[in-house]
């Protein structure tokens, strides 16, 4: 491995339907979780530009479930998020 490169966490391919809820919000937006690791996930959502920096990613529509995330990159409809506490 080259000096200065960080090893990426092993990602598990999912292609599973998910839900994104915004902090303090109740409206869950449908998304597709393409892959996920212990540190983050790649999702696609219809309007990725309207997402704030902080959100919650879940596999059920219940806003109390899921994990808090921060957006780390956006490319078209794809968004990369990292899990935060």
Res. 68: pLDDT tops 80: yes
**What are 19-55's pLDDT values in tens digits?**
999 877 767 899 999 999 999 999 999 989 889 999 9
CA dihedral 22, 23, 25, 30 (to 10 degrees): 20
Angstrom distance (rounded) from CA 33 to CA 78: 10
**CATH number for the segment(s) 12-83:** 2.40.10.430
3-state secondary structure (DSSP) of residue 66: coil
Angstrom distance (rounded) from CA 82 to CA 71: 7
Res. 59: pLDDT tops 50: yes
Res. 73: pLDDT tops 70: yes
Domains of the chain: which residue ranges? 12-83
**Entry pTM:** 0.82
Measured CA distances, 83 to 13, 39, 40, 52, 70 (Å): 17, 6, 5, 15, 7
């Amino acid at each position: 491995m080259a000096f200065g490169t960080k090893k990426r966490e092993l990602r598990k391919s999912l292609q599973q339907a998910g839900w994104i809820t915004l902090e303090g919000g109740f409206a869950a937006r449908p998304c597709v979780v393409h892959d996920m690791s212990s540190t983050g996930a790649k999702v696609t959502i219809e309007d990725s530009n309207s997402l704030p920096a902080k959100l919650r990613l879940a596999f059920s529509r219940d806003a109390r479930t899921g994990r808090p995330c921060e957006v780390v990159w956006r490319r078209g409809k794809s968004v990369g998020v990292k899990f935060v506490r």
